[in-house]
Structure 1
Amino acid sequence: MIEIVQTGPFNTIQDLGRPGYRDIGVSASGAMDPLAVRIGNILLGNPESAAAIEVQTFPFKLRFAVDADFVVTGAESRPRLTGRTLSPWCTHRAAKGDVLEIEQPRRLARAYIMVAGGFDVPLLMGSRSTTLRGGFGGNCGRPLTAGDTLPIAAADEALPLPKGGISVIEPEVALRDLFLEPIDGELSVRAIVAGEHELYGADADRFWSQAWRISSQSDRTGYRLSGEPIKPGVPVEMRSHGVVPGVVQVPPGGEPIIQMSDANTAGGYPKIAGVIESDLWRLGQARIGSRVRFVRATHAEARAIEQAVTRYVDDVRRTAAMVKRALGVIG
């Protein structure tokens, strides 16, 4: 078990989400940076969907009530265990009474804490993720608060972790050649043209050419973007239709909204583009106030990038398993 010592608003329990229930109005939710959760769980020997703590307001502190292996991934948050600075993206062992501290990251937005076995909160519709607007999942459907205690599920003892830990080159570095480098601080994300793109005529070109700022009216449901508004050539009225994370909608005001992890299940705003899935984790790490520029991509490009990310995850999985097997043979 762990105890939350210090936290801010909106820090929650998340896993890889609960897909399959959008038809009854239930958002998938899940981590804003699912790649960080997958890699952390692989290093610990957990199922990739094991529940983690998503930290987006800092500082954050928790106390271990039992000995436990853990890992911190995501943003560069300079984790410390009872005063000792730790390497991120690496497994560590905590003793009963140790305090883990997560500071404000130097950059990026969200850090993730995973423990061997995963956090044992109730499973609801196949997921332990928190859905804040619905008030369910995770830790009683609400953000974590000081004094909360979270049970830890029993970890798999078959393949032990080395005392020095297992570390990995984080995705941002390992996959650097796949992703567009920020230019003048602007995050470039690839997107595919969506159904109502042609309604915007010349304004559609401005959607792609200008840099948009993530406004303060952004959250896990969606990023509202500030910039020169874009408008359709003629007024348009649409019936509500299904939407998913990554869809970029344009409300009447002309400033786009990117649907994120807690995306609405349906909406009637026109869709101008859809961010490719492999770039969504990078958006999930973008801070309020940062700038985003969309880059047109094809389905073939999106598929090739997805395959490369899959190869990276597979390589991490094979390497972690190889190290643990070697430990089992040697020790």
Structure 2
Amino acid sequence: MLEVIQAGIQTTVQDAGRIGVGHLGLPRSGALDSQAMLLANRLLGNDDNAPVLEFALGLSRLRFYRDAWIALTGADFNAQIDGKSAWCGWRTAIKSGQTLTLHGPKAGMRAYLAVDGGIQVPTFMGSASTDLTSGLGGVEGRALKSGDRLALGKEHNLKHPVGAMQRLWDNQIRVLAGPHFDWLANPAQFAKSHWTLLPSSNRMGARLDGEPLSLHTPLEIGSRGVFPGVVQLPPSGKPIVLLNDAQTTGGYPIIATVIEADMWKLAQARPGQTLQFVPVSLDEARAVGERWQQYFYRLGRALGAGAPHA
């Protein structure tokens, strides 16, 4: 078991999210930086979908009540175990009674903590992920608070610390053209512009500021299904990129879709940072995705976990 001594800002339980529930009006939810979550679980030999904790800024403290192995990935939160540094991107041992402190990110926005055996919470619609908008999943559908206690799965027989490659963040967000891209009055402006991430951004969407885009002809569309990564153009002309907790339908024009392999960059972008969209072909998007799949496959082999979990 682990106890939350200090919860930090919007610390939640997340996994890969709820798949196939959009027709029920439920968002996918799940870890915004899915690659960081997968890496943390692979380092510990957990199932790929084992629940983790997602931290977003702020000071957090957790006390462990069993010996455990942990993995911290994503943004480097300057973590310490009883005052001694715990490296980001590594598998690290922690003893019963010790306290893990996360001071906040040196760069980036979100960190992920996996524990050997996984964090145990009830599932809803096949997922442990917290949906803050609907108040479902995780721990009572809310962010963690001081005094919460979380059960842990069975301890793994791990022996040595190991580490893995850390990604280098950049502001280039690769996108595929959306069904309404050609309706833009100046399509080149979308990619040439530098868009600033607004403080109003959250797990529902990345809201951007910059020179407004416009359509060459007014476009009226009915409400349609949307999903994380969709870039919508509201009447303000300033794009919104839908994220994991976004609504499942929308009526704004869809001008682009962020490729899956670059969604982590939005998860790790801070308000005030600038982003630039880079159009790519479908073949290029597939090639990038395949490279990430190959990396995690090789990582699993190197750690003795075998092929990726289904």
Read off the aligned partner of 1:189 and give its amino acid letter.
I
Q: Give 1:305 deviation, angstroms.
A: 0.4
Matching of residue 292 in structure 1 with residue 275 in structure 2: yes
1:32-43 equivalences under 5 Å are: 32-43=32-43
Which residue among 261, 264, 268 is the counterpart of 1:278?
A: 261
Equivalent pair of 2:18/2:126 in contact (CA under 8 Å): yes
Matching of residue 199 in structure 1 with residue 196 in structure 2: no
Matching of residue 61 in structure 1 with residue 61 in structure 2: yes
Q: Give 1:322 deviation, angstroms.
A: 7.0
Aligned to 2:86: 86
Read off the aligned partner of 1:150 and give its amino acid letter.
L
Stretch deviating more after TM superposition (1-10 or 130-139): 1-10
Q: Is the partner of 1:295 in helix, strand or coil?
A: strand
Read off the aligned partner of 2:131 and give its amino acid letter.
T
User: Distance between the aligned counterparts of 1:303 and 1:133, measured in 2?
Assistant: 32
Question: 1:168-193, CA deviations, whole angstroms, 9 ceiling, x for partnerless residues?
Answer: 122x15xxxxxxx74xxxx0111011
Equivalent pair of 1:7/1:57 in contact (CA under 8 Å): no
- With structure 2 as the length reference, what TM-score do the two structures score? 0.96
Q: Is the partner of 1:201 in helix, strand or coil?
A: coil
Equivalent pair of 1:79/1:101 in contact (CA under 8 Å): yes
250 and 12 in structure 1: CA distance in 2 versus 1, 3 angstrom threshold: same
Q: Give 1:88 deviation, angstroms.
A: 1.4
Higher helix share: 1
Q: Give 1:195 deviation, angstroms.
A: 0.3
1:46-195 equivalences under 5 Å are: 46-155=46-155, 157=156, 160-162=157-159, 164-170=160-166, 172=167, 182=170, 187-195=171-179
Structure 1 gap ranges (5+):
174-180, 324-331
User: Distance between the aligned counterparts of 1:207 and 1:221, measured in 2?
Assistant: 22
Count of aligned residue pairs for this structure pair? 306
User: Distance between the aligned counterparts of 1:298 and 1:95, measured in 2?
Assistant: 49
Equivalent pair of 1:223/1:257 in contact (CA under 8 Å): yes
Aligned to 1:320: 303
250 and 322 in structure 1: CA distance in 2 versus 1, 3 angstrom threshold: closer
Matching of residue 208 in structure 1 with residue 191 in structure 2: yes
Aligned to 1:178: none
Q: Is the partner of 1:318 in helix, strand or coil?
A: helix
Q: Is the partner of 1:151 in helix, strand or coil?
A: strand
Read off the aligned partner of 1:91 and give its amino acid letter.
R
Q: Is the partner of 2:100 in helix, strand or coil?
A: strand
Question: 1:4-61, CA deviations, whole angstroms, 9 ceiling, x for partnerless residues?
Answer: 0112332100011111000110101000101111111011111010000000021111
Aligned to 1:328: none
User: Distance between the aligned counterparts of 2:83 and 2:108, measured in 1?
Assistant: 23
1:204-283 equivalences under 5 Å are: 204-283=187-266
User: Distance between the aligned counterparts of 2:91 and 2:121, measured in 1?
Assistant: 22
Q: Is the partner of 2:128 in helix, strand or coil?
A: coil
Q: Give 1:87 deviation, angstroms.
A: 1.4
User: Distance between the aligned counterparts of 1:7 and 1:287, measured in 2?
Assistant: 20
Aligned to 1:177: none
User: Distance between the aligned counterparts of 1:17 and 1:41, measured in 2?
Assistant: 15
User: Distance between the aligned counterparts of 1:169 and 1:309, measured in 2?
Assistant: 12
RMSD: 1.3
Q: Is the partner of 2:3 in helix, strand or coil?
A: strand
Aligned to 2:5: 5
User: Distance between the aligned counterparts of 1:248 and 1:225, measured in 2?
Assistant: 10
- Structure 1 segments (4+ residues) deviating >4 Å: none
Question: 1:286-312, CA deviations, whole angstroms, 9 ceiling, x for partnerless residues?
Answer: 111111000010000000000000010
User: Distance between the aligned counterparts of 1:282 and 1:57, measured in 2?
Assistant: 16
Q: Give 1:146 deviation, angstroms.
A: 0.7
Question: 1:170-220, CA deviations, whole angstroms, 9 ceiling, x for partnerless residues?
Answer: 2x15xxxxxxx74xxxx0111011001111122x22111110001111000
User: Distance between the aligned counterparts of 2:291 and 2:130, measured in 1?
Assistant: 30
Percent sequence identity over aligned pairs: 37
Q: Give 1:166 deviation, angstroms.
A: 1.8
